[in-house]
Amino acid sequence: MTEFTSKQVQILKPDYTIYNILSDFNNFTPIVQDKIEEWTASEDSCSFKVNGFVIKLKMVDKEPYKTIKLTGDQLPFEFYFWIQLKSVAPEDTRMRLTIHAKMNMLMKAMIGKKLQDGLDKIADQIAFAFNNYGR
């Protein structure tokens, strides 16, 4: 497995607030239902279509206020996506994202940098959303 880890970002919210939102796919429905094709969700799984390809995700492990682990469901490749939270003060949580993906050296060379950049952008966007909305 190849590992890609995002930069650490600061979220000015308690860890339990972040965890309670990110650990339930239903919470994403109001945000993505008009932006993502064929979005469906339950607490622990979701499905959507990108470029004609159906993607299914499921949460496989949750440790309250610390870790959420996702994987693909019925996808042609194996990967795990982790959201890691660390409380450093009551209103200060640090978050890091990690992807573990099964890929050969050619695939890593072709998409590794894009995957790393994308992971950092997702971390920034999650932090921005929590830090700037719902105050």
pLDDT surpassing 90 at residue 106: no
* Top mean-pLDDT range of 35-39, 96-100, 106-110: 96-100
- Using one digit for the tens of pLDDT, what is the confidence trace for 49-80? 888 888 899 999 999 999 999 998 877 778 89
The answer to whether the beta carbons of residues 93 and 13 sit under 8 Å apart is yes
pTM over 0.85: yes
Condensed to tens digits (0 to 9), the pLDDT of residues 89-99 reads: 999 999 999 99
